Amino acid sequence: MNLHISIPHTDWHLKIFILTFCFFPITTMSQDKKPSLLDIEFNVIADVVNIHQGSQDVHNGKTLFLGLEQLGVSINPFREVGNRTLLHFNILNAHGAMPSENYIGDLQIASNIEAGNYIGLFEAYLEQTYNNHSIRIGQLDLNGAFLYTDPALYFSNSSFGIMPSVSCNVGCSIYPISALGFIYRYSHKSITLQIGLYDGDPGSVEDNNFNLQPSLSEKQGLLSITEAQYNFVGKLNGSVKLGSFFHSANFLPFEDSENIYRSNYGGYILYEQSLGLTKLKSSKYNFFIKGGFAPSDRNFISSFAGVGIVVNSLLNIFDEDQLGIAFAQAYISKALRNMQPVYDNSETSIELFYGFTFLKHFSIQPSIQYIVNPGALKTNSDALISLFRFQASL
């Protein structure tokens, strides 16, 4: 008997979502955690954003929908020997509303999947690993290798992934547009050192169709980033990362327009630690701190600070669950504020969430965000939003 599924008069993004669940038993029957010759992953995220109090009163009560589908393919031809070769591709399809750009007006982006309507090749790279050394070359996501802490990745606000003291100041190879790049990594015991080099301007969703039209020129410059990590293991596991970035393009100063800076730079620190057990024996607190800086004379965001805590296995009734709260503050350049008094000192985002996983492949995560001074503009009121996130990973 032939099986035919018809979905008439339905938006094609919804068709993808429905077909994912129709064929879910078929696609997951033979999943294997060990590296295989061919690994395929499919991830679906759907966000529902409710604006309870917007930076502009006209948007109060607005409900917005946005989504993201990602298909990852990894080929591991020499997985049985010490030298590992990996070929990886990641294709994304983002769609739906843009809450931060069109309604909230915040700098730090309330939903980290916001990208408008865009389909593209997000990553395509070759990675070669030999003992403690690895080299990755191709089209790379910078935030997939640098500038992150594991506990912060549970949060929906973008600033808990990539720091705005980097992403708001220089061209970055990050979601949804990545750029050509190179990463070298060395690991030995508790220490990891890595260096990355990227095209200085990945372009935009308007001028880089399907992320297949990279534009390389001397004017765009190069972005280099260096990061050192130390892991400490014991009763309280954790890590600390120190990093810096350098961009070789020209940058205009805010106060003296006759001079041009021939480069830009900044630094950051990331710290995360397990703080032990809660009253429930299987629960752990995971704490993180993030901080970054860049020169005030040529950068929109001169510094950033973030702190948060995540409690895992809180209720012990789901496959996994987490409760988290975090604060992020982006400080506006003093030189820019002197030139344009409309800007306030900073923008602050506070996020509280509870999430749980069920049937191993599905998760639900409602959250609340309160944003002080959206866009760091004195004319904007504080914003209060709720975000309901559903995710399926195959």
The predicted-structure confidence for 213-251, as pLDDT tens digits, reads as follows 777 777 889 999 999 999 998 778 899 999 999 999 999
> Is pLDDT of 22 > 60?
no
Question: Which residue did the predictor score with more confidence, 120 or 55?
Answer: 120
Specify whether the CB–CB gap between 76 and 35 falls below 8 A. yes
Strands 118-130 and 320-332 come out as: unpaired
Q: Look at residue 25 and tell me if it is in a domain.
A: no
Q: What is the mean pLDDT of residues 120-135?
A: 94
Choice among 129-133, 165-169, 325-329 with the minimum mean pLDDT:
129-133
**Total number of domains constituting the chain:** 1
The predicted-structure confidence for 67-106, as pLDDT tens digits, reads as follows 999 999 999 887 655 568 899 999 999 999 999 999 999 9
> Is pLDDT of 278 > 90?
no
* 262: three-class secondary structure by DSSP: coil
Specify whether the CB–CB gap between 357 and 370 falls below 8 A. no
Query: Can you give the residue range of the structural domain that contains 319?
Result: 38-393
Q: Sign of dihedral through CA atoms 22, 23, 28, 30?
A: positive
Two tokens, residue 12:
């094609």
Q: Look at residue 49 and tell me if it is in a domain.
A: yes
Helices (H) and strands (E) in the chain, counts: 5, 16
Question: What is the pLDDT, as a whole number, of residue 58?
Answer: 66
> Is pLDDT of 29 > 80?
no
Q: 179, exposed or middle or buried, with CB in 10 Å at 0-12, 13-18, 19+? A: buried
DSSP for 128-149 reads: EEETTEEEEEEEE-GGGTSS--
Q: Look at residue 381 and tell me if it is in a domain.
A: yes
Question: What is the pLDDT, as a whole number, of residue 1?
Answer: 34
> Is pLDDT of 372 > 70?
yes
Q: 17, exposed or middle or buried, with CB in 10 Å at 0-12, 13-18, 19+? A: middle
Q: Place 178 in a pLDDT band, splitting at 50, 70 and 90.
A: very high
Q: Which of 261, 328, 326 is nearest to 292 (CA)?
A: 328
Q: Look at residue 7 and tell me if it is in a domain.
A: no
Q: Place 313 in a pLDDT band, splitting at 50, 70 and 90.
A: confident
Q: What is the mean pLDDT of residues 265-290?
A: 83
**Which residue is listed with tokens 């299987």?**
282
Question: What is the pLDDT, as a whole number, of residue 59?
Answer: 77
* 25: three-class secondary structure by DSSP: helix
Question: What is the pLDDT, as a whole number, of residue 212?
Answer: 87
Residues with Cβ within 8 Å of 193's Cβ and at least 6 positions away in sequence, in order, are 185, 186, 187, 226, 227, 228, 229
Choice among 18-27, 72-81, 199-208 with the minimum mean pLDDT:
18-27
Choice among 14-18, 28-32, 245-249, 309-313 with the minimum mean pLDDT:
28-32
Look up the CATH number of the domain holding residue 186.
2.40.160.10
Q: 56, exposed or middle or buried, with CB in 10 Å at 0-12, 13-18, 19+? A: middle
Q: Which of 44, 41, 17, 195 is nearest to 123 (CA)?
A: 41
The C-alpha atoms of residue 139 and residue 390 are separated, in whole angstroms, by 28
Q: What is the mean pLDDT of residues 150-179?
A: 96
Q: If you average pLDDT over every residue of the chain, what do you get?
A: 87
The predicted-structure confidence for 327-366, as pLDDT tens digits, reads as follows 999 999 999 999 999 999 999 999 999 999 999 999 999 9
Q: Look at residue 19 and tell me if it is in a domain.
A: no
Q: Which of 200, 208, 204, 148 is nearest to 169 (CA)?
A: 200
Q: Look at residue 228 and tell me if it is in a domain.
A: yes
C-alpha distances (whole Å) from 28 to each of 38, 88, 89, 143, 357 are 14, 20, 20, 28, 16
Specify whether the CB–CB gap between 169 and 335 falls below 8 A. no
The DSSP output letter for 374 is G
Residues with Cβ within 8 Å of 120's Cβ and at least 6 positions away in sequence, in order, are 91, 92, 176, 177, 205, 208, 209, 210, 211, 212
Cis peptide preceding 176, ω within 30 of 0: yes
Q: Look at residue 11 and tell me if it is in a domain.
A: no
Q: Look at residue 294 and tell me if it is in a domain.
A: yes
The C-alpha atoms of residue 228 and residue 241 are separated, in whole angstroms, by 6
Question: What is the pLDDT, as a whole number, of residue 315?
Answer: 82
Report the share of the chain in percent with pLDDT over 90: 72
| Cut 0.75: pTM above it | yes
